[in-house]
Structures are given as C-alpha cells and as structure tokens.
Structure 1
C-alpha cells in the first residue's frame, strides 16, 4: 500500500505558513481540528521546516514571545515521505522516531499533505482485515470476492 492511497486524508491535514509568519499566526493555524503539524514554506513554496504544537508550547514556555517568526522556532531537519513510498515502511519510520505527523512532499519539496500516524495505522489495519477476508474466502472455497 502506498502513501498515495491516503491522499484525501493527507491533503485535508495540510496546513502551511510562510517563514516570516508570527508564532501567534502559527498557533492559530495549529489550533484548528485535524492540524497536528504546520509546514513552514519559503518564498517559492518549498518546505523550509515544520512546526508542531510542542514546538510552539516549548518556545512560549521558555521565551514567551508570540511575535517571533515561524522560522525562528521551526524544526529544520524535516523527516518526510513521498506519495510513492510504502505506507508500512513509512509507519515504521514514524514509530522509530516517535513522530505523530509526517509531511508528504513531492520531488521538488512542495508540500502535498501531512500523514497522521493514526490514519496510517488505520489504513494498515483495514488492509490486513481485507487480506484476511480474501484468505478466508479462498480457504472456504468461495473464491475471491
């Protein structure tokens, strides 16, 4: 199963801001339901970094400055996936790095969506259930349905 199969979910979770957006603006975007990761883009629309709710809270706790720019607070070492990546391998990478969300980027580093680990796990589980039903039908002599 490929990341591409989850495109409706990943694109619905996509939220971006420019690098010069204030932390207050970023916090407002992050407060929306279904948004767990904010992608910070440069002038050309490519990914410059990511900003999580934890990043915002950590900054506010330490510095308390809401006028700081997203670029000053964002994580620059972006761990991402591509639509053609295997979902199971991506889920393993997310689990190994304790990531709740991962940007889905195209070859030019343009954001396409955000993969939530719960969506990935749900899709993997549904795929396993489907495979189990196929196998059971085969064993029962029903054939593939």
Structure 2
C-alpha cells in the first residue's frame, strides 16, 4: 500500500496559507477547520514551510502571546519533509517516527498534491490488516 491509496480515499484537499499571515490567523484556521497542520506556500506556489499545532504551542511557550501578531513565517518549520503518491506506507511511518511529526505533504510533478497525517496512515494500516485477516478466514473456511 502507498500514499496514493490514502489520498484516493481521503481526497487531496490541503489548506494553505502564505508565510506572511499572522500566527493568530493560523490558529483561527486550525481551530475552524479542525485540522492539525497548514502548509505554507511561497509566491510561486511551492512549499515554503508547514505549521502544526505543536509549532504553535512551542512558539507561544517561548515568546508569549505577543507572537500572535507576527507573521507565521517566523514560527513555521521551514525544512519540510515530503513524499509522493508512490511512497510506501511503511516508508512514511519511518519518516514520521524519526522526524517526530504527524503531517507529511504529498508532492507530484513539482506541485502540492495532498497531505497525509499519522492518523490517515494508521487507519490505512488497520484497514489493510482487517482485509488480510478476512482473506485468511475465507481461505481457511474454503479449505
């Protein structure tokens, strides 16, 4: 199973903003959309960074509430790991575990094609295990 299977099931919608929007706007959008991360795109539409709930908490703890009026570019994660739709799920799990992050933008043909979360990956792995178990039960019953 690969990332493409996940995107096919969940869709490829990604909420994006520019790095010059305020942290307050990011917080509002995260809460309003009930999402855990927002991809930040530069003026050419390329990934400039990503900001997650964890990033928000970290920067608020370090700088205090006055940071809410500053551009999110000052608090975003600029070195963004990405994957493609053909990346195997096991590879994604490894990248997320080693990097200690929960969201991974998906890139295809030099454009943002989606985003997957650790929840998406776990759900896909559980569904795969359930399918395999059902196939094994059918095989045993047919024998």
TM interval, shorter chain, is 0.7 to 0.9
| CA–CA distance in structure 2, aligned partners of residues 106 and 20 of structure 1 | 25
Residue matched to 1:120: 121
Residue matched to 1:25: 25
**RMSD, aligned α-carbons:** 1.8
Residue in structure 2 matching 1:93, options 92, 95, 98: 95
Count of aligned positions: 140
1:88, distance to aligned residue in structure 2 (A): 2.2
Normalised TM-score (structure 1): 0.85
Judged with a 3 Å threshold, the aligned counterparts in structure 2 of structure 1 residues 10 and 62 are, in CA distance, closer, same or farther, namely farther
Residue matched to 2:68: 66
Corresponding residue SS for 1:32: helix
* Unpaired segments ≥5 residues, structure 1: none
Normalised TM-score (structure 2): 0.86
In the TM superposition, 1:1-145 aligns within 5 A as 1-7=1-7, 8-9=9-10, 11-12=12-13, 14-63=14-63, 64-108=66-110, 110-141=111-142
* Unpaired segments ≥5 residues, structure 2: none
